[in-house]
Structures are given as C-alpha cells and as structure tokens.
Chain A
Amino acid sequence: MVKTMIKNENTMKNIVQSSQNVGEESIIINDQNKNTVFGTKNFNLWYGDHHALRDINLDIKENDVTAIIGPSGCGKSTYIKALNRMVELVPIVKTNGVINYRDRNIFEAQYEVEELRTKVGMVFQKPNPFPKSIYDNIAYGPRIHGIKNKKVLDEIVEKSLRGAAIWDEVKDRLNQNAYGLSGGQQQRICIARCLAIEPDVILMDEPTSALDPISTLKVEELVQELKDNYSIIIVTHNMQQAARISDKTAFFLNGEVVEFDNTDKIFSTPTDQRTEDYISGRFG
C-alpha cells in the first residue's frame, strides 16, 4: 500500500511541477529538455570586506544532481547557503546580483524567506537532528507549516523515512530520541526530515564529511534514488564522490566558477587548466 502511495505521490508531484512550469520553455538554455531551477546571474557576496563570491553565473537544471567542488574556502558552501538564503544568518553578509528560483529573484524584497526554504530543503555538514524523538524530528517541518492531523503526520513520517531508506532500521523505535542513532543514521534522519515537506530542491552541504565510508555509501545511493523526484545540489570536498553521483559539476576557485559542465566532461577533459590541476590532485 505504501509503495503505491509513493507512486501516486510522485505522479502528483510531477503534475504539480509541470503546471508550475507552463511557459518556462523560453529559458531552456542547454540542449537538454529540462527546466532551470536556480538561475544565478552576476551574483556577488561579501562577508564584511571579504569578497567571497565573485560574479557567479550558473544555471542549475531540475532533476539533476549538481555537484559543487573546489578547495576549502573557495565559496562552494557559501554559494549553496545563498540558494536558500541561509547565509543571511551571518549578520555581516552583503549581496548583489540575481539568483532566480523558478524565475523569481529570491533576493527581491517581497520574497518570504520561509516560503523559499519550504521549497528548497537543506541537509547539513554535521548531522543535526533535534534532541526529540525520531517521529517528532520528521514531523517538525509539516507541523511548523500547520499540518496537525495525526493520521496525515503518521503517513508523512513513514513515507519520508522510507524515502530516506531508513524506515526499516527505525520503524520500531520512532519514539526514541534521534540522538541514540549512529552518525550515518542521524544524517539519513536529517534527509528524511527534509523530505517530509516535499521540497522541490535539496541542498546538501558536504553531507558525508562527518560519516564513515559505509554510511557515506548509503547516503550516496540515496542521492541517486532521490534525483528522480528532486533536484539535488551537493557540495563535496570529495572528487570521487562528485564523479560517482553527479550529472553536472561546477568547479569553484577563490569565489569564482572556473568551469561548469557535465560531470563526465569535467573529469575527463576539463577545458580549464586550473580544473585539471585540481582534479588531478595538484592542489586543494
């Protein structure tokens, strides 16, 4: 029953999306027949005096896994935190330029940041479940957005945990504290928590950097499964990971996009010398 429900859900989501996408054909840039979820145009960001992102231009397509790689301090985390405006939690941040989410500039004054983050979910570097039960963790998102019906919440929790491939491990202890789980399980709980509000895009900020290799593998498999229904943007310090799981890869260096292309192309025949130096391990 649950499987059919998930299927229903998927088709329904597609319907919702295609209805949203009517009239967006004109902005298709690549030869691929895909819509742009995030269009970044001449985007700049400063932390105080530090110019962290310089003239970023990047079009991210839906239902792609887009990897962002680059050495530490290159601005890759800053960039995806700009996509759901989490950067604004740092008080000294200034921005200019445009980031369009589904054709609307997220930095325009009337844009409610809560609305944006409801559509654009995020998984963080360190697993950060709340010190609540597993159930309450998953139900957190729906609850803050006003869904209170217990039956609906039950279904959302189960579906989200299944979606994050952790249902079988935790179904018997939904009322236990999420902190009792291992790091890898916690991170998948965080992914499930993110799925519970059915975002359009999932941002992942080095989601496996705190995990052991086996947990990392599970999360990577999960990303592959999720890409059918979600657009995923993943920051990683691990080039093999980018090569394994992503469709597109952007290479950031010193706050600039050096190269953005299909992952195969980036890792086989990069155009820019700096990209080649980085992926062949000459620096970083």
Chain B
Amino acid sequence: MRYIDDTVIMKRMKTRLNKNRGWKALFFTGTLFALLCLVILLVRIVSQGFGYLDWDFLTNFASRFPERAGIKAALIGSIYMMSIVAPVSIILGVATAIYLEEYAKKNKLSDFIRMNISNLAGVPSIVFGLLGLTIFVRSLALGKSLLAAGFTMSLLILPVIIVAAQEAIRAVPQEQREASYGMGATKWQTITRVVLPAAIPGILTGSILALSRAIGETAPLVVIGIPVILQFLPDSPFSEFTALPMQIYDWAKRPQEEFLYVASAGIIILMIFLVIMNSIAVFIRNKFQKRY
C-alpha cells in the first residue's frame, strides 16, 4: 500500500499555493506601506512649505511674524556647527578605527573598547545632550556655543564613524598589506599609503551619512539650551548660535497655523541638505567602485 495519495496531495496543493499567494501579497503590502509613508511625508511637507520658500526666507532672521520669519541664523549656524563636527568626528573616528584594526592586540582592553563602542551607539541622543550640558557647557565653561554643540554632536556620531571606518579598513585585503611589508615598508607607511587610500571611499561614505544624522539631530541641542530667536550670526567658535532643527522645532510648537508652513519650509531646507550629503556619499561610493 502506498503511503502517499497523489489525489489528496494535489487537492491540498491548491490551498497551499493560494496561501502562498495571499501571504506574498500581504508581505508586499507591508513593504509598500513603508515606502508609502515616505512618499506621503515628503509630499505633505513640500506642498505645505513650498509657498514659503523664497530668497527672503533664506536671508531673514527669525521673527514673531510668520511672513517675515527667515532661516538665516539657523542655516549659517548649522553649517558652522558641522564645520566643527566633521573634522573632530572623522579624525577621532578614523584614528580609533585604525588603532582597533591595525594595532590593537586581541586582549581584554581592546575587547572592552569594542564593546564600549557598540554600546555607545545605542545610547539615546538626549543622554548625549546631558553629557554635553555637564561637561562642555558647564565644566569646560564653553556655554551654549558652537564648540559645545559641535563637540557633543561629534561624540554622538563618533561610534557610527568608527564602525564604518573599521568596516572599510577590514575590507582591504590582507594581501595588500603583505605586499607592502614585503617591500620593506614600515607599518605606518603601509597604513598611510596602502590601507587608507583603499579604505577612503568607504570611510567617506560612512562619515557623510553619519554627518547627515548630526545635522538633523535636535534633542542634544535642546538639552544644551541652544537659543532659537537669534538676530545675529556667530562670529567665533565661542559664540551662541542656533541650528536648523532647533528653528524647525520652535516653529512647529507655535500655535499660529502660518508657522506650521514656515516649519515645513525649514524642513525642506533641512531635507535638501540631507539629499545633497547623501548624493555625495552615493557618488563617492560609485566613483571609487569603478576606479578600484
């Protein structure tokens, strides 16, 4: 006697196939939902804010009157802040990655540093704000300055840059290092002339993505106490300043409806920054993939 009855199997087959089709549609809907959210979000903001975007908006300072409100101080402030964050976080991040990948021996200390970095990446950004408030604003007496905010943001994105740089350095094949050592190159020569040049596209891509996160972060700035209504531009790293997300947050909280449109216009500017930075990251990735 046969254990397997073909007719029963074929009968079940139909329901099984239908089930497969049904679930596939459901999974696809889930994916679509996520994409749809992005589309709705972008369409909403652009349609709300586009009307308020004009030259005056970029060149005016903040104002109590929505029609006169501008984003100048926030825009310049964000750019200044990023010009502190970028060198500090990239230099520290790449240096740490080189240490961990090329120099650190496999021991308790380096394990601890690695573990520490992965935990630091999971600390909420608002806690970094508390750190910045205590250490930079108060203990080092930097006040609510560009430097205090820049250092806080640098520490916030440091783990992301370290991990990206580690991956890029690890992706350089060991044979490349051997070739260099085989010619009598020292370790540092090998790192600067072989490992880093090959890893730079990956490092830059990861760093730019991390920096684009720093530009949109709001919570640490709120905690540090960055002001919002400023009628002047910062003139030194020790100056007070305001930043794009702070300005948007302030507008979004206001009760007048017009300010919601102003906030949307601000968000458009912020998103343009992010799109530009992401495009640069993608461009670097593609360009160097071709060359190497």
A and B touch in the complex (CB under 8 A): yes
Which of A29-37, A114-122, A238-246 lines the interface with chain B? Answer: A114-122
**A143 proximity list for chain B (CB < 8 A):** 193
B-contact bits for A177-197, CB 8 A (1 contact / 0 none): 101000000000010011001
User: In the complex the two chains form, what is the Cα distance from A99 to B285 in whole Å?
Assistant: 46
Min distance, Cβ A169 to any Cβ of chain B, angstroms: 20
Q: Residues of B contacting A22 with CB < 8 Å?
A: none
Asked if A47 is an interface residue, CB under 8 A from chain B, the answer is: no
Of the stretches B110-118, B120-128, B183-191, B261-269, the one at the interface is B183-191
Q: How far, in Å, is A47 (CB) from chain B's closest CB?
A: 15
Tell me the minimal C-beta distance from B3 to chain A in angstroms.
49
**B86-94, B133-141, B173-181, B240-248: which lies at the A interface?**
B173-181
A179 and B177 CA atoms in complex are apart in Å by 16
* Contact of A141 with B183 at beta-carbon distance under 8 Å, contacts A124-B175, A177-B291, A177-B292 already known: yes
Tell whether A128 pairs with B183 under 8 Å between CB atoms, given A140-B193, A144-B189, A177-B291: no
B255 is an interface residue with CB less than 8 A from chain A: no
Q: Chain B contacts of A145 at CB under 8 A?
A: 184
Chain A residues at the B interface, C-beta cutoff of 8 Å: 84, 86, 89, 91, 114-118, 121-122, 124, 126, 128-132, 140-141, 143-145, 177, 179, 190, 193-194, 197
B179 touches A131 (CB 8 A): no
Specify which chain B residues have a CB less than 8 angstroms from the CB of A144 in the assembled complex. 180, 183-186, 189, 193
CB B184 to nearest CB in A, in angstroms, measures 4
**Once the chains bind, are A91 and B105 in contact (CB under 8 Å)?**
yes
Pick the contact of B194: A118, A122, A130, A141 (CB < 8 A): A130
Which residues of A lie under 8 Å from residue B184 when comparing CB positions? 114-118, 141, 144-145, 197
Between A and B, 10 residue pairs with Cβ closer than 8 Å are: A84-B182, A86-B181, A91-B105, A124-B178, A130-B179, A140-B180, A145-B184, A177-B291, A177-B292, A193-B183
- Taken together as a complex, chains A and B put the C-alpha atoms of A14 and B175 apart, in Å, by 32
For A129, the chain B residues whose CB sits under 8 A away are: 179
Nearest 4 pairs of A and B residues by beta carbon: A118-B184, A117-B184, A128-B175, A122-B182
Q: How far is the CA of A86 from the CA of B177 in the complex (A)?
A: 11
* Given A117-B184, A193-B183; 10 other pairs, CB 8 A cutoff: A86-B181, A89-B177, A114-B185, A116-B184, A117-B183, A140-B180, A141-B184, A145-B184, A177-B292, A194-B183
Collect the chain A residues with CB atoms within 8 Å of residue B175's CB.
124, 126, 128
Q: How far is the CA of A117 from the CA of B54 in the complex (A)?
A: 64
Which residues of B sit under 8 angstroms from A132, Cβ to Cβ?
Answer: 197
Name the A residues within 8 Å of B292 (CB-CB). 131, 177, 179
| Residues from chain B with Cβ under 8 Å of A121 in the complex | 182-183
Contacts of A115 in B (CB 8 A): 184
Most buried by B among A117, A121, A124: A117
Q: Which residues of A contact B180 (CB under 8 A)?
A: 130, 140, 144
Minimum C-beta distance from A120 to chain B (A): 9
Counting chain A CB atoms within 10 Å of each CB, the highest count among B106, B179, B182 belongs to B182
B225 to chain A, nearest CB (A): 48
| Chain B residues within an 8 Å CB radius of A141 | 183-184
User: For the complex, what is the distance from the CA of A137 to the CA of B182, rounded to whole Å?
Assistant: 13
- Report Cα–Cα, A117/B181, bound state, in Å: 8
Q: In the complex, what residues of A have CB within 8 A of residue B197's CB?
A: 131-132
Q: Does B163 contact A (CB under 8 A)?
A: no
Which residue from B173, B176, B178, B189 sits with its C-beta under 8 Å from A86? B178
B198 / chain A contacts, CB cutoff of 8 Å: 130-131
Q: A140-B193, A179-B292 are in contact. Are A130 and B181 (CB under 8 A)?
A: no
Q: Which of B106, B182, B193, B194 contacts A117 (CB 8 A)?
A: B182
Give the chain B neighbours of A116 by CB distance below 8 A.
184
The verdict on A118 contacting B173 (CB below 8 Å), with A130-B194, A131-B198, A179-B292 known, is: no
A91 CA / B105 CA spacing, docked (Å): 9
Residue-wise interface mask of B (7-26) relative to A, using a CB-CB cutoff of 8 A (1 in contact, 0 not): 00000000000000000000
**Nearest A residue to B190, CB-CB:** A144
For the complex, what is the distance from the CA of A193 to the CA of B173, rounded to whole Å?
Answer: 18
Contact indicator B194/A197 (Cβ below 8 Å): no
Most A-side CB within 10 Å, residue of B106, B184, B291: B184
- Which residues in B have their C-beta under 8 angstroms from that of A140? 180, 183, 185, 193
- CB neighbours of B106 from chain A (8 A): 91
CB distance from B266 to the nearest CB of A (A): 43
Minimum CB–CB distance for A280 against chain B, Å = 34
Min distance, Cβ B95 to any Cβ of chain A, angstroms: 22
Residue of A with least CB distance to B183: A141
Cα A9 to Cα B186 in complex, Å, equals 27
User: B133-177: which residues lie under 8 A (CB-CB) from chain A?
Assistant: 173, 175-177
CB distance from A127 to the nearest CB of B (A): 9
Given contacts A86-B182, A194-B183, contact A128 B176 (CB under 8 A): yes
In the complex, the answer to whether A118 meets B178 with C-beta atoms within 8 Å is no
Q: Which residues of B contact A197 (CB under 8 A)?
A: 183-184
Chain B residues whose C-beta falls within 8 Å of the C-beta of A122 in the assembled complex: 178, 182
Nearest B-chain residue to A119, judged by Cβ: B184
In the bound assembly, the distance between CA atoms of A145 and B185 in angstroms comes to: 8
Please name all residues of chain B whose beta carbon is closer than 8 Å to the beta carbon of A114 when the two chains form the complex.
184-186
Alpha-carbon gap, A227 to B57, bound state (A): 76
